[in-house]
Structure 1
Amino acid sequence: MSIRENIEGIQARIAAACARVGRNPAEVRLVAVSKTKPATLIEEAAAAGQRLFGENYVQEFADKTEQVRAPVEWHFIGALQSNKVKYLRGKVTMIHSLDRLSLAEEINRQWAKLDRPVDVLLEVNLGDESSKAGTGAEEAIELVRRVAELPFLRLRGLMALPPWLDDPEEVRPYFRRLREVARRIEALNIPGVSMAELSMGMSNDFEVAIEEGATLVRVGTAIFGGRG
């Protein structure tokens, strides 16, 4: 199938997942994960109406922003080193992978140069997997308090990369846990902090993620095919 047909199929599945739990499909945004994919495929997806794209690697992202001419919105969703934040400055509207105070401080420093804030999500490591980034669920609240003090960051919610499991139902408890962490943080009423966004769910499990409250689903393979 074409990229256009893939996107239309995913949007239909998003709508169906929302209907099952009484949600408005407008609450869920599709992030097309375009890592390792050439600019031509991003342009093709944009021509099919996709506007939001997520990149994982800073150098690859920098190259693509020079090549993609379509009016798209970029999110950065991969692990991020502090010394590479400057290459994202002013080019992304959201960073999904904030996981430590030193990174938050560098993002704040770079966006201060633009005198405008950037939206960020706190990445929570729900599976306690040493191979994955993210702050622990218990440490998240203290990090939220510190991030809230930085004037050029707007904390909009949480992101998670749960363990990859064949059965999406086995991932459901992780999505549910992220939602519960978000509720705990929301209940603290920390000034400037919102938990409006939950970035969770990928090609194999995004429907379950939506049923558990996802507002941003990160889908690559189901749009573009396997890694190129």
Structure 2
Amino acid sequence: MNKCALQSSANEKEDNQLTALIPEANKQREAEIQKAYETLQEDIRQSAVRAGRPADSVRLIAVTKNFGTADIDAILALGHTELGENRVQEMNSKIDYYTERNQLYSWHMIGTLQRNKVRQIVGRVAMIHSVDSLPLLKEIEKRSAEAACVTEVLLQVNISLEESKHGFTSAEIAPLLQKRDKFPHIRFRGLMTMAPHYDDPEQTRPIFRAARLLQEKLSTDLNLPDFDQLSMGMTNDYHQAIEEGSTMLRVGSAIFGSRYQ
């Protein structure tokens, strides 16, 4: 059985909508984006080394929400390949745009995913970061089975227990993973978490640390060597996330600037 691979979308193409999403980037903006991207990548590498980790141990998922293809092209030209989106419709439009140009990249679904949208992304994404409930997990299994492929997922854990945030509690994840044989078309790769927004990003440390300790315990206790990914850290708190063990950062505005509304 193959890992879910990129497939063509049945949705109508929305290139015109994408083109209108933001003004075409001029050379100055392209240069600004590329400089910001290179500065960020170097900072990530140095932060990893300072934390006693390999320089290449942290992956950057560039969040392209509300940014058009001209902006995205600026970092693709530098060799970046991993992109994150919060919304299914916008992500599929961008996948279609690049697929038509024979440009295939790794797309990550990082936003809240409704069950009725799962069929639209299975086979199109490298990973779903935001699996926050058992019904959603069952739907991903169902749609992946129909597509005869395996979908990689992260389980979203609500470490801070904020009512405004989605996700499993820490106590719910081990019992779920103990029943992983019921999900033969899903590959569980690790955890995703979001810290509250603090004025002082140092306050995120206990949350990121708790997520790492939970991920390590689950991997060891349940003999899951591939359960080794931690998606945590955004523009405001990625330094703390790296120091606490993040393997994937979800960063957009540090690259592209303020989002167009």
Q: When the two structures are superposed, what TM-score results if normalisation uses the length of structure 1?
A: 0.94
Instruction: Output the amino acid matched with 1:145.
Output: Q
In the aligned structure 2, how far is the partner of 1:224 from the partner of 1:4? 9
| Distance in 1 (alpha carbons) for counterparts of 2:187 and 2:225 | 7
Which residue number in structure 2 is paired with residue 210 of structure 1?
A: 242
Residues 32-111 of structure 1: pairs in structure 2 closer than 5 A: 32-68=62-98, 69=101, 70-111=103-144
Pairwise CA distance, 1:186? 1.4
Confirm or deny that 1:23 pairs with 2:56: no
What's the CA shift for 1:91? 0.6
Q: Displacement of 1:148 after TM fit?
A: 4.6
Shift of 1:92: 0.1
CA contact 2:216–2:228 (8 Å) conserved in 1: no
Equivalent residue number for residue 136 of structure 1: 169
Which range is displaced more, 139-148 or 47-56? Answer: 139-148
Question: Aligned-pair distance for 1:201?
Answer: 0.3
Unaligned runs of 5+ in 2: 1-30
The number of residue pairs the alignment matches comes to 227
Tell me the SS of whatever aligns to 1:119. strand
**Which consecutive residues of structure 1, in runs of 5 or more, have no partner in the other structure?**
none
The letter of the residue matching 1:136 is T
Q: 1:143 Cα shift?
A: 2.2
* Per-residue deviation, 1:45: 1.6
- Normalising by structure 2, report the TM-score: 0.83
| CA deviation after TM superposition for structure 1 residue 183, in Å | 1.8
The one of 96, 108, 122 aligned to 2:155: 122
For residue 193 of structure 1, report the CA deviation from its aligned partner: 6.6
Q: What root-mean-square deviation, in Å, do the aligned CA atoms of Structure 1 and Structure 2 show? A: 1.5
Task: Look up the SS of the partner of 1:27 in the other structure.
Answer: coil
Hey, what's the Cα distance between the residues in 2 that align with 1:193 and 1:22? 21
> Which residue number in structure 2 is paired with residue 223 of structure 1?
255
C-alpha distance in 2 between matches for 1:149 and 1:110: 14
Alpha carbons 1:148, 1:154 under 8 Å: kept: no
Partner Cα distance (2:54, 2:87) in 1: 32
Q: State the Cα distance separating 1:99 from its structure 2 match.
A: 1.3
- Matched residue SS, 1:54: strand
Identity of aligned residues (%): 41
